[in-house]
Structure 1
């Protein structure tokens, strides 16, 4: 259990809070780059700050405070003009540093007024389809080049980026990443219960856990599991799932490589990205070329129209348990057991990093800018996870079970594969 004071210390992310100041040491994804294609101005809220992300007419990115310092109108309704973003109300122009470049209708012009009108501006960078921001003070560290950020699309490999706002604190989402045995129940026995009711094939994730393990590594923690019928040579134990501190889980299997990235919006909301790469058999390469013309971003719908959580995907099952713990989970009345050792380990690691940051000591995964070109390789399982729903021989149906049913590329590829199979079945042998 955690006493309320410590729970607050680990959970809250506003400016000046221990966890909030630690998070401001990291580059954080705030949007997918393609989100600015239709509208180059997007309001974002990160770490409790209301901001506006924009792409200038010259193609440069900016991230500035949302409130115009003139009369307080929202710059989310501003428009790109030349090197910056212009307020729709009176046309004041701001660049990516937050400097006020122009104040139309001021006669005579007042350099002092323009200087006073500066607003907060943060560095932003585009990498691998995502837009990252650094909300800390002083020079920004290196933007970590994780291995999946270096991949390129081709005839048998394509990218998908799903996102959702999860209405709960970031920490209860991350703690789920250190809880291997929930797979046996939530994604196994309970999933089979819902699949049976729907008349669908069962999942194969219901195996009983006989051993779990956690290793501290340079970049975070690796969690491992051993289930009945497995040996320690299995990927579940030998490879495991790495967590890149403080907020990224890497998982894979059945042609899927993915990063689950959790970014605090504020104390009670989290921006969740599913950053995925799919590997498809060579025989479907001509179909991959077609689906790559579709958007690589989509909203992950975790709840039904009546507000209840969907129970037909792994992600929505996880979201149900994250959110139903409350906006900020109460931990003073919890009863941890031996199966929760990974959660305890992560909390200890987090506390140590908070202490180090407050003491102006080095913290995990904050790198010198000179190392920015270094690729960070994270281990990943390659096995087929065995999710139900692939009875038609369509490999994409297994992907749909693990991700969202709302990915334009994945859904289109599944339909194309089914159409080809149906056509082939009509050809006389």
Structure 2
């Protein structure tokens, strides 16, 4: 049980808040690269800040304050130039550093533009996503985690804007036991109501769970009924990459799956499901699978009811029914909630480090440490033992426009 002050500490992400200051020390996904293919700008709200992402005519990316400092109109409707974004209202132009470079109607001798600068953040592309760094200089390196940079892979990105705080979504990832019930027994109940019978691997009882810190966050491990301690689920596990990403999949089988929880504001989260499937360097990827689609993941049906016959929809139902910000002042944690407690303690510890002027966990500043970061990941994950095609149908991947092609590609190379 938390006090109101403690709950606010961990859930408030705006500028100047302790948690907001911590999250701003990390590179944050703000858009998919494909979102700027047909238009030059995109409105972005991240960590309670309203911004505009743009690509200029030279191909440079910029992320600046949405409101023009002249008359405060939205630059989402601005026009791309060779070196910046031009305001549609009076023609003021701003480069990727937020510097005003031109004011067409001011006298030619005027130096007024040199004194006008708007808020701007550095952005980088990686693996089909655009990341921003919103913290103090010098910026750390953008971590090159395996799934983002693995070669010869088919990639796809699912996304949903969810009306709840980011923390209750992340805490779900530190709660292994929920898989046994929500994705096991409840899944069987829901599909049974539809006249279907599915025996899923998630239903097996957890005999033990454990959590260990590592260089980039927390590794969670589970020992299921009938498993030996030599199983990958217990011996290796899979990581929660601090502060807002879960890595799952079976790296040894060429499957990398990241769930990224991006705080839009205190009561809204952009949830990103990032998938990379690498069948091996010798397999030719068809041209139509080299593009990276961005697709929406629905979680309510036409009547407004939650869609709960797939794994991620079940999670979303639980996240949203906790309320826009979960009431931790009235919760009752049990022994199986030790992962949640561990994660909250890590959040507080890292907030304190930032307040002392130190780098938080996972900060990378040396290029040689950032070539290809292999995350600890089970090669033989029990929950994926039903085979790729069966797994795809139970997760949000069923909504991907290319999922049938991915299943077919893996089938041809002998991965079932």
TM-score (norm 1): 0.89
Specify the alignment match of 1:424 in structure 2. none
The 3-state SS of whatever aligns with 2:327 is coil
Is residue 315–residue 404 contact of structure 1 (8 Å, CA) maintained in 2? Answer: no
* Structure 1 residues not aligned, in runs of 5+: 419-429
**C-alpha distance after superposition, 1:335-375 (max 9, x if no partner):** 00000000000111111111111111231112225456343
The 3-state SS of whatever aligns with 1:375 is coil
After alignment, is 216-225 or 103-112 more displaced?
103-112
Specify the alignment match of 2:414 in structure 1. none
Counterpart pick for 1:399 among 392, 402, 406: 392
The 3-state SS of whatever aligns with 1:214 is strand
Cα distance between partner residues in 2 of 1:59 and 1:281: 31
Cα distance between partner residues in 2 of 1:397 and 1:231: 25
Specify the alignment match of 1:213 in structure 2. 210
Per the TM alignment, residue 223 of structure 1 is displaced from its structure 2 partner at its CA by 0.9
Specify the alignment match of 2:21 in structure 1. 21
Query: Are 1:169 and 2:156 counterparts?
Result: no
- Counting matched residue pairs gives 408
Per the TM alignment, residue 109 of structure 1 is displaced from its structure 2 partner at its CA by 5.4
Is residue 162–residue 269 contact of structure 2 (8 Å, CA) maintained in 1? Answer: yes
Per the TM alignment, residue 199 of structure 1 is displaced from its structure 2 partner at its CA by 2.8
Instruction: Decide whether aligned partners of structure 1 residues 35 and 84 sit closer, same or farther in structure 2, where only a CA change above 3 A counts.
Output: same
Per the TM alignment, residue 298 of structure 1 is displaced from its structure 2 partner at its CA by 1.4
Instruction: Decide whether aligned partners of structure 1 residues 417 and 237 sit closer, same or farther in structure 2, where only a CA change above 3 A counts.
Output: closer
Is residue 11–residue 328 contact of structure 1 (8 Å, CA) maintained in 2? Answer: yes
Cα distance between partner residues in 2 of 1:117 and 1:320: 46
Cα distance between partner residues in 1 of 2:103 and 2:117: 11
Is residue 255–residue 382 contact of structure 1 (8 Å, CA) maintained in 2? Answer: no
Per the TM alignment, residue 166 of structure 1 is displaced from its structure 2 partner at its CA by 1.7
After alignment, is 259-268 or 98-107 more displaced?
98-107
Specify the alignment match of 2:192 in structure 1. 196
Cα distance between partner residues in 1 of 2:218 and 2:32: 27
Cα distance between partner residues in 2 of 1:320 and 1:165: 13
Specify the alignment match of 1:264 in structure 2. 263
Cα distance between partner residues in 2 of 1:357 and 1:293: 40
1:99-110 equivalences in 2 (<5 Å): 99-107=99-107, 110=110
Per the TM alignment, residue 60 of structure 1 is displaced from its structure 2 partner at its CA by 0.6
**C-alpha distance after superposition, 1:70-102 (max 9, x if no partner):** 211100111211110111122211101111111
Specify the alignment match of 1:90 in structure 2. 90
Specify the alignment match of 1:354 in structure 2. 351
Instruction: Decide whether aligned partners of structure 1 residues 139 and 416 sit closer, same or farther in structure 2, where only a CA change above 3 A counts.
Output: closer
Cα distance between partner residues in 2 of 1:400 and 1:64: 40
1:287-306 equivalences in 2 (<5 Å): 289=286, 291-292=288-289, 295-306=292-303
Cα distance between partner residues in 2 of 1:249 and 1:134: 20
CA RMSD of aligned residues (A): 2.4
The 3-state SS of whatever aligns with 1:159 is strand
Per the TM alignment, residue 12 of structure 1 is displaced from its structure 2 partner at its CA by 0.5
The 3-state SS of whatever aligns with 2:399 is coil
Instruction: Decide whether aligned partners of structure 1 residues 381 and 291 sit closer, same or farther in structure 2, where only a CA change above 3 A counts.
Output: farther
Cα distance between partner residues in 2 of 1:252 and 1:302: 22
Instruction: Decide whether aligned partners of structure 1 residues 234 and 414 sit closer, same or farther in structure 2, where only a CA change above 3 A counts.
Output: closer
Instruction: Decide whether aligned partners of structure 1 residues 216 and 395 sit closer, same or farther in structure 2, where only a CA change above 3 A counts.
Output: closer
Query: Are 1:238 and 2:215 counterparts?
Result: no
The 3-state SS of whatever aligns with 1:263 is strand
Cα distance between partner residues in 1 of 2:366 and 2:52: 26
Instruction: Decide whether aligned partners of structure 1 residues 163 and 96 sit closer, same or farther in structure 2, where only a CA change above 3 A counts.
Output: same
The 3-state SS of whatever aligns with 1:2 is coil
Counterpart pick for 2:180 among 177, 184, 188: 184
